[in-house]
Amino acid sequence: MATLYLASGSPRRRELLTQIAVPFTTLTAPIDENLLPDEAPHAYVERLGREKAQAGLALLDDRANAVVLGADTAVVLDGRILGKPADRDEAVATLSALSGREHQVLTAVVLASPGQVRTRVVASQVRFRRLTPAEIETYWATGEPRDKAGSYAIQGLAAVFVSQLQGSYSAVVGLPLCETAELLAEFAIPCWQLPVHS
């Protein structure tokens, strides 16, 4: 069986892969995550996922039996990617913009081996209820929004903001498990690699 590597520092992605009982080794494969001129959000997440997977593969001495998973998630409002907030003011502005509205979360998952690259991009629609300025300030003070795309974590304290979700919850967290499992199967990597009980 191929050895799976995860080219991501995200604890959420590690937890999600562990949830479906797929063994993996984590790699750090830094890439330039800047948006290209006129790059659409869908193309952006797909490119970053692919670059992470290919950068991870390039780090390995023995690639013959390796499969590297790269992923990227973007929060999109009115066609614009909302990145990680630089500071409190940016987080407050982002959360105020998301308040009472629907936004899109795009997550790309890419599997790369020496012979092939497979890509899926999953789009989910998330609606926030109306947020008060006091709630936004209190949420910022928790520290959770600081390193999150779109200034929030659906799996964390911000779960109380979400009034509706259409699509994949795990994709909004950072890795679409249904689509990831389908891609892993194409590389003959099964899910549920649990210990066998006699």
Average pLDDT over residues 104-113: 98
Q: Choose, from 61, 62, 72, 78, the residue flagged as catalytic.
A: 72
Of 177, 181, 179, 198, give the one whose Cα is nearest residue 189: 181
pLDDT value, residue 196: 67
Q: Compute the residue count for the chain.
A: 198
> Are 91 and 145 contacting, i.e. CB atoms less than 8 angstroms apart?
yes
**198 confidence band (pLDDT: 50, 70, 90):** low
Percent of the chain scoring above 90 in pLDDT: 95
pLDDT value, residue 130: 98
**Tens digits of per-residue pLDDT, 11-31?**
999 999 999 999 999 999 899
Output the six-digit token pair for 139.
């949420």
For residue 46, pLDDT beyond 70? yes
Of 170, 168, 167, 135, give the one whose Cα is nearest residue 151: 135
pLDDT value, residue 195: 79
More confident residue, 60 or 198: 60
**Tens digits of per-residue pLDDT, 128-167?**
999 999 999 999 999 999 999 999 999 999 999 999 999 9
Average pLDDT over residues 103-126: 97
Average pLDDT over residues 166-192: 97
Q: Is 72 a catalytic residue?
A: yes
pLDDT value, residue 194: 84
pLDDT value, residue 1: 83
Euclidean distance between CA atoms 44 and 160, whole angstroms: 29
